[in-house]
Amino acid sequence: MLIEVIGCTGAGKSTLCRRAVDRLRADGLDARLLHTGAARFDLVALPGFVALMGRRPALAAFAARVLLRDADSPLAALNLFRHFARKMGMAARLARRRAPGPLVWEEGALHAAHNLFVHVRRAPRRAEIERFARAVPKPDLVVYVRASVDTLLARTLARGHRRAGASIARARAFTAHAWETFEILAATDGVRERVLAVDNDVDGEGALARLGAELADRLAAALGARLARDPRRATA
């Protein structure tokens, strides 16, 4: 079973993912965490991307058009398309996975919305996000880690983000566009039904530990419900 984790920069996805997976494993589930952000996954994902785009050529063309129009430069568009291609290729590869236990994929195929639609100078377009949501491969469950724009902005400024830049105005625009993108994505038909939303405006080890445990409990309940409906998913 595949679980994707989506959310804005600064939402706290990585921390909550680790805590939730650790809790699931402690409770006896063979849960695994996957993060495919490293460039080494480009080659791993390439065969899957070629195969998937052979079946869905309009998706690749759509992504290229959006990026050439909205990215800061042609070089930025190329780099963002590389991230999109990696996510799509890994989605195709993971669709063939037949290992026991849930796989929690941080920033997977759905998260490619951040690469396509989140830019400083251009606001996201609802119709394009909804089109993307309909076309992209989808997981069994989606964990949407949320936080307020102010919280996201503060965290983004503290940790830095190359595309957001160092100025408060640029970072605020980037953060607001990201928040809008994921709110639209999570509410779109075909995605909405799979979403577990987690609000993460908290700080501190104790609060994060409690939130991670709560997420693990909600995931375990959701997994149990899905397996009860379709036992074949137990090894998917």
Percent of the chain with pLDDT over 90: 66
173 pLDDT above the threshold of 60? yes
In this prediction, residues 73-91 reach a mean pLDDT of 96
Higher pLDDT residue, 230 or 176?
176
Q: How many whole angstroms separate alpha carbon 22 and alpha carbon 25?
A: 5
118 pLDDT above the threshold of 90? yes
Domain residue spans of the chain: 2-40+97-235
Distances (CA, A) of 116 to 76, 112, 215, 224: 11, 6, 28, 34
231 pLDDT above the threshold of 60? no
pLDDT-derived band at 235 (thresholds 50, 70, 90) equals very low
In this prediction, residues 70-83 reach a mean pLDDT of 95
Percent of the chain with pLDDT over 70: 94
In this prediction, residues 64-72 reach a mean pLDDT of 96
234 pLDDT above the threshold of 70? no
With tokens 């996510």, the residue in question is 87
In this prediction, residues 89-94 reach a mean pLDDT of 95
**Dihedral of the CA atoms 107, 113, 119, 121 (nearest 10)?**
-170
CB 191 within 8 A of CB 181: no
The CATH number of 2-40+97-235 is 3.40.50.300
pLDDT-derived band at 202 (thresholds 50, 70, 90) equals confident
Question: Can you give the pTM of this predicted structure?
Answer: 0.88
pLDDT of residue 232: 52
pLDDT of residue 142: 95
pLDDT of residue 216: 86
Higher pLDDT residue, 180 or 201?
180
CB 164 within 8 A of CB 156: yes
What is the tens place of the pLDDT at every residue in 32-57?
999 998 888 999 999 999 999 999 99
